[in-house]
Structure 1
Amino acid sequence: MCEKKNITKNKDYRKGNGTKLFLAFLFSIFYSLNSSAQCAMCRAVLETEEGGVKAEAVNDGIVYLMAFPYILVGVIGYIVYKSRQKVKV
């Protein structure tokens, strides 16, 4: 009988950790840093231009294209995780 109480407490503890993990995940998604994502050749060509408007646009495009594979892997991982949780229950 004591074991059932311990199991219930562990499930409640896991539920709280899931919420904290989810909040940390949301924070990491919406937190951004300024970065320069250019290859050496792109940088050499774009540095010759004055103003640097095209260089900033290329940086933004590279970061934009880089984000989608990570988002896709995250969504697929979440779907697999949820499907395995349903099988366990």
Structure 2
Amino acid sequence: MGEDKVRDLVQQAADAMQADAWRAYVAIEYAVLEVKMRHGLEHEPSPPPVKRTAKKADLLALAGEKLVHLDYSDAKKLLYELRICRDALKAATAKP
């Protein structure tokens, strides 16, 4: 049940990323929370921060690439990859 919710959120993010990075960010943030709470991973370390000096297009490409290759079978790895996507989208939305 929970995995389906995360997959739906990831699909929403992928669909929204083309038109609206902010909507994609919100969907991924919700997916991060869903995975964290459902699997008790609240204290898992976050990935290193994404370079804020990267171009917006590069940040969106990074997020898109990570979304395509998510591994839903390993909750820790899924959380880590979703956080990378979230951080890239957050940095992209901060750019003009």
What TM-score, normalized to structure 2?
Answer: 0.28
Which of 1 and 2 has greater Rg? Answer: 1
Q: Name which structure has the greater RCO, CA cutoff 8 Å, separation 6+.
A: 2
